[in-house]
Amino acid sequence: MSSTTSEPSLTTSTILRFWIPLCATWLMMAVESPILTSVIARLDVPMYNLAAYGVAVALAMFIEAPVIMLLSTSVALAKDRLAVEALRAFTRRINIIVTVGMIVVCIPPVYDLIVHQVIRIPDEVSRLMYRGLVCMIPWPAAIGYRRFYQGLLIRNGFTRRVAYGTVVRLFTMAFSASVLVLFSPFDGVVIGTVSLTSGVILEAWATRWMARSTLRALRRQDPAACAPPPTTRDILRFYMPLALTSIVGFVVTPMLAFFMGRARLPVESLAVLPVVDSFVFLFRSFGFSYQEVGIALLGEGNRHYTAIRKVGVMIIVGTTVALGLVAFTPLSEVIYAGVYGLKPELADFAVEPTMILILLPMLSVLYSLQRAVLITARRNVAVTWSTITEVSCIAATMILTLWLFDLPGAMAAALAMVVGRVIANIYLRREVSKALKMTPR
């Protein structure tokens, strides 16, 4: 990675070779939700189970948010043996916190307060959702454990091993779902959440196993030769702005569920939006994976910014055209009914939100490039404020569309997601301009 960034010029082929493995990892992660939602859609009571699965995962992701940035923290700070030991202890503490959070939310009085008084999920959905949420109690800690070791692998150049771990996750998830469908009496939401959790746990174990050579090399280091390890305060100073970004970002899905539960066609919207979002995520994942490309390859003084932006434009055109060919043609109903297994009325209901979300792949690439410039410039606070701006705009748009125009929940949510991201991109454009002016290319 360092050798790449030290080159005087950066070609399109070099950027693509660096990006494609990262993109493949994100695509594999993007596939897991369509696989599970298509399984749930083919089981009994699909509409309620899909809604329960979507909200359960959203709530678990919100609790999991603090562990997301352990990857970036590990990549940046795991320089030697003492630093790794300090980060591992920090990771354990974060994992304990998120696990306790999951357990507390699953206590019936707390669960009832959140689901019935705050989000106001229909009773038929909330009963199913509780079972799924209990199955996900180990999920956040497994992700934190995995991301810490993924950071070690990436820092030491073993990026392919990260992708291998994702393959393990997908196969475990698919195998678990198949076995449970064939041999268990469980509801679809339980099958989905158990399969999801099993895949993440085995991926975490596989990632740890693949990091064993790196850990052995670190153990051979003489502690006296290592730099002073980062203190908890040092780690928190780097970690907290990024963690806050994740926490605020993960508010979006529960917040959308909150508004959709009060909108027109609430159950249909809660059932359809996770499916639509997982489908559009396939196209957005190309952009999500581009952030790491920017951070790694921008180079000193952002001298490769123009080349990286050029490839980003190529990705924007390809993903937007591909999604448009589905969203605005009969292919959309074919995919939602044939691939995802939605009933005809739900497949038809999913088409218009998909059309609205046509801009998200383009905005995701732009957002990743903007964040890469700012993180490289150590302007992490601007990234946090962009997320706060986006969430605020999503909430405002949901209020306006539901109370003034009485749109169905799924359509209002799709529109709000686009508006929020557009405003965030506009905000970051100014911040990126400042960062680029401070580091002339």
How far apart (Å, rounded) are the C-alpha atoms in residues 192 and 198? Answer: 10
Shared-domain flag, residues 102 and 207: yes
Residue (of 287, 439, 441) closest to 363 by Cα position: 287
Q: Is a pLDDT exceeding 90 seen at residue 177? A: yes
Per-residue pLDDT, 439: 60
Residue 141 pLDDT more than 60?
A: yes
Q: Does 197 lie in the same domain as 51?
A: yes
Percent of the chain residues past pLDDT 90, beyond the cut = 41
Residue 392 lies in a domain: yes
In a domain, 34, yes or no: no
When pLDDT is cut at 50, 70 and 90, the band that residue 5 belongs to is: very low
Is residue 184 pLDDT above 80, yes or no? yes
Query: Range of 90's domain?
Result: 43-237
Does pLDDT of 247 surpass 90? Answer: no
Residue with tokens 């670190």: 218
Angstrom distance (rounded) from CA 182 to CA 168: 21
- Domain total for the chain? 2
pLDDT band at 327 (very low <50, low <70, confident <90, very high): very high
Task: Look at residue 120 in the predicted model and tell me its pLDDT.
Answer: 80
Query: Do 308 and 403 belong to one domain?
Result: yes
Whether residue 133 is contained in a domain is answered as: yes
pLDDT at 390: 92
Between 147 and 377, name the one with better pLDDT.
Answer: 147
The answer to whether residue 6 scores a pLDDT higher than 50 is no
pTM of the model: 0.77
Mean pLDDT lowest among 4-8, 150-154, 306-310: 4-8
Identify whether residues 263 and 208 lie together within a single domain. Answer: no
pLDDT band at residue 8 under the 50/70/90 scheme? low
With 60 as the cut, is the pLDDT of residue 3 above it? no
- Partner residues linked to 408 by β-bridges: 264
- What average pLDDT does the chain have? 87
Q: Quick one: which of 127, 140, 137, 135 has its CA closest to 49? A: 127
Q: Are residues 296 and 429 in the same domain?
A: yes
Q: At what angle do helices 266-288 and 46-64 cross, to 10 degrees?
A: 50
Instruction: Please check whether residue 320 lies inside any domain of the structure.
Output: yes
Residues 83 and 203 in one domain: yes
Give the closest residue to 58 by CA, choosing from 256, 299, 319, 239: 256
Neighbours of 137 (CB within 10 A): 19
